[in-house]
């Protein structure tokens, strides 16, 4: 039977040009480039035509991430420069005008302009009093000046859509500026809406990042509605970090090194409950500046010293002096009613991260993680293994010290006496051919003082269990040097000072490593880089990298925003004025927008 032949119409690819003011390292532009909207057989292909920022290092990153040349421009006017820097501009400095903005776009006209103006003056991290100083008021006025420069630069061919992004507090601290921006945009023919969103929900990130958006649609050029992007579920921070090498692994590159923190910071992090922050330290008992109930000891200390039992494990024998200092007489109690705080906060492995900011350090927020992954070499699989009585033994090997013990349920009878010590005033047991301390009660508690040691006594000169002073030389190192046959131990006085900077691995009370995020992990949480990828930003400073990463727009969130904007443009270009959708509307037709402009978001 012959089938009817048919062909699909080829895709109608439409270029969507986007331009970025205050572009930073290019997170927003990278996300826009990844968007691929479709309406019928019409497909949008995004192309970045430029970006502008005052930071040369950020522009170099922008060019690396987007493949598009960026332009270094200071957008202050002279009075703003003087107020912010407290001095006159240097020789050769001049105010930027619309012509320089148009040149930064390569002489082309964008369909979408994305602005992410400096937010320090609006941020809650800055006190109310400092935000009102001339310096930060000048920085805040860049929002209005940036919008005006952009509108004038592209006045001959206005952008169809404009997105202005900032911190949520701009709606309060910058209300007077937003009102002026809204009026300015409407005078240029735009319908305007204000809204807030969570970048994590737009991009399915492993962090929650609340942001403010002002969205404008040129009414004469774009008739359809502009819908909000779909919201997605937040991911757990461990879903990102688990795909990355352990911190410090050379495979992660220089941005994946553990920050060197003060010793006191490491100790604080170790005692912060996962999911909480520095305020959980208030529950610790401190006497004379020292923790009363805790002591830091090596992880593999002998005889259960300072040992902590798991909640689900049985306890050892309770004896006369069952104290933390002489056995495992503590318990890891999982019962705790905590709260979400910030400073020195430690994230659980399965939780989402908070917003990555330019102050992403352990002391500035919940920027540490309880990492359950093993940080040392793999141990021998049968080392110190105890075989259950009901199971078969492992293979008998030459290395009989590993895995050759059994959990014997039989109760030893009276007189079994293995490793027993006979009281000085009691009779000894029967002397047999196997009379050693390991076979019966063949040891005695001798109350008499030690014998006089003289020449020929090996324990007089051998230094068995000897401890050398720190300031003295060691004896000759022999082939059989061991702690129990000479002075092969040392009284080591070294302990980090509170302000010493170092990398430490302290196993916290919950059994994990409470550590700060690496710079690369922050970039991955921002979706600037896939967890399996390698990233190197411009320069060699972690603090500079972190500031640029914290200021960046998460690309995955920007991709979601670009997707709905691209769909709106394709609808407009195809002659459609409506698309059936359950998504909320961002920018409505001009009549509705203008009617509610004075009351808030449209």
3-state secondary structure of 60: helix
Cα separation, 241 vs 532, in Å, equals 10
Give the tokens for residue 552: 């960046």
3-state secondary structure of 215: strand
Helix, strand and coil percent figures for the chain, each rounded to 5: 25, 15, 55
Would residue 405 show up in a list of annotated catalytic residues for this protein?
no
Given 23, 48, 119, 199, which residue is catalytic? Answer: 119
Residue 53 CB neighbour total at 10 angstroms: 26
- Beta strands 405-407 and 386-388: pairing type? parallel
Residue 282 CB neighbour total at 10 angstroms: 7
Do residues 72 and 124 make contact, with C-beta atoms less than 8 angstroms apart? Answer: no
DSSP secondary-structure letter at 244? S
Do residues 49 and 110 make contact, with C-beta atoms less than 8 angstroms apart? Answer: yes
Burial (CB count <10 Å: 0-12, 13-18, 19+), residue 233: exposed
DSSP secondary-structure letter at 485? S
| C-alpha radius of gyration, the chain, whole number | 34
Residue 510: half-sphere exposure toward Cβ, Cα within 13 Å: 23
- Beta strands 112-115 and 161-166: pairing type? parallel
Catalytic residues: 119
């Amino acid at each position: 039977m012959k089938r009817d032949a048919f062909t699909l119409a080829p895709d109608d690819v439409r270029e969507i040009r986007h331009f970025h003011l205050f572009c930073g390292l290019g997170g927003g532009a990278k996300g826009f480039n990844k968007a691929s909207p479709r309406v019928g057989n019409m497909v949008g292909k995004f192309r970045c035509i430029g970006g502008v920022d005052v930071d040369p290092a950020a522009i170099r990153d922008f060019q690396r991430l987007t493949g598009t040349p960026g332009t270094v421009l200071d957008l202050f006017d002279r009075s703003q420069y003087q107020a912010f820097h407290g001095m006159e501009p240097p020789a050769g400095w001049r105010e930027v005008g619309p012509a320089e903005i148009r040149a930064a776009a390569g002489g082309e006209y964008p369909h979408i302009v994305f602005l992410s103006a400096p937010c320090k003056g609006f941020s809650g991290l800055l006190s109310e009093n400092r935000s009102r100083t001339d310096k930060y008021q000048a920085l805040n006025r860049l929002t209005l000046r940036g919008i005006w420069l952009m509108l004038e630069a592209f006045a001959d061919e206005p952008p169809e859509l404009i997105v202005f992004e900032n911190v949520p507090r701009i709606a309060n601290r910058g209300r007077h500026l937003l009102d002026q921006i809204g009026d300015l945009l409407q005078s240029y023919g735009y319908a305007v809406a204000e809204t807030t969103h969570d970048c994590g929900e737009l991009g399915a990130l492993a962090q929650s990042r609340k942001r403010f958006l002002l969205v404008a649609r040129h009414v004469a050029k774009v008739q359809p509605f502009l819908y909000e992007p779909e919201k997605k579920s937040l991911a757990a921070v461990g879903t990102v970090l688990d795909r990355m090498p352990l911190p410090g692994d050379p495979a992660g590159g220089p941005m994946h090194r553990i920050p060197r923190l003060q010793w006191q910071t490491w100790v604080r992090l170790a005692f912060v409950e996962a999911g909480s922050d520095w305020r959980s330290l208030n529950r610790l008992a401190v006497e004379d500046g020292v923790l009363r109930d805790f002591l830091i000891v090596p992880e593999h200390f002998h005889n259960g010293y300072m040992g902590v039992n798991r909640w689900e494990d049985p306890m050892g024998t309770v004896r006369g002096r069952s104290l933390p200092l002489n056995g495992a007489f503590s318990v890891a109690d999982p019962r705790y009613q905590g709260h979400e705080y910030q400073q020195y906060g430690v994230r659980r492995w399965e939780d989402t991260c908070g917003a990555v900011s330019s102050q992403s350090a352990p002391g500035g927020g919940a920027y540490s993680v309880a990492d359950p992954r093993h940080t040392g070499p793999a141990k021998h699989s049968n080392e110190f293994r105890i075989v259950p009585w009901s199971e078969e033994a492992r293979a008998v090997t030459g290395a009989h010290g590993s895995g050759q013990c059994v959990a014997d349920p039989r109760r030893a009878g009276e007189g079994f006496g293995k490793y027993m010590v006979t009281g000085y005033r009691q009779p000894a047991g029967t002397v047999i051919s196997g009379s050693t301390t390991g076979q019966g009660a063949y040891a005695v508690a001798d109350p008499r003082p030690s014998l006089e040691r003289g020449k020929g006594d090996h324990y007089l000169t051998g230094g068995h269990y000897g401890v050398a002073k720190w300031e003295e030389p060691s004896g000759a190192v022999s082939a059989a040097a061991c702690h129990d046959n000479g002075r092969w131990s040392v009284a080591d006085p070294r302990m980090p000072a509170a302000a010493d900077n170092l990398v430490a691995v302290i196993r916290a009370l919950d059994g994990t490593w409470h550590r700060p995020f690496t710079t690369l992990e922050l970039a991955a949480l921002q979706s600037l880089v896939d967890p399996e990828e390698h990233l190197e930003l411009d320069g060699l400073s972690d603090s500079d990298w972190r500031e640029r990463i914290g200021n960046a727009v998460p690309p995955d969130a920007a991709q979601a925003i670009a997707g709905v904007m691209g769909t709106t443009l394709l609808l407009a270009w195809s002659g459609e004025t409506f698309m059936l959708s359950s998504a909320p509307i961002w920018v409505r037709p001009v009549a509705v927008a203008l009617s509610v402009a004075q009351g808030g978001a449209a």
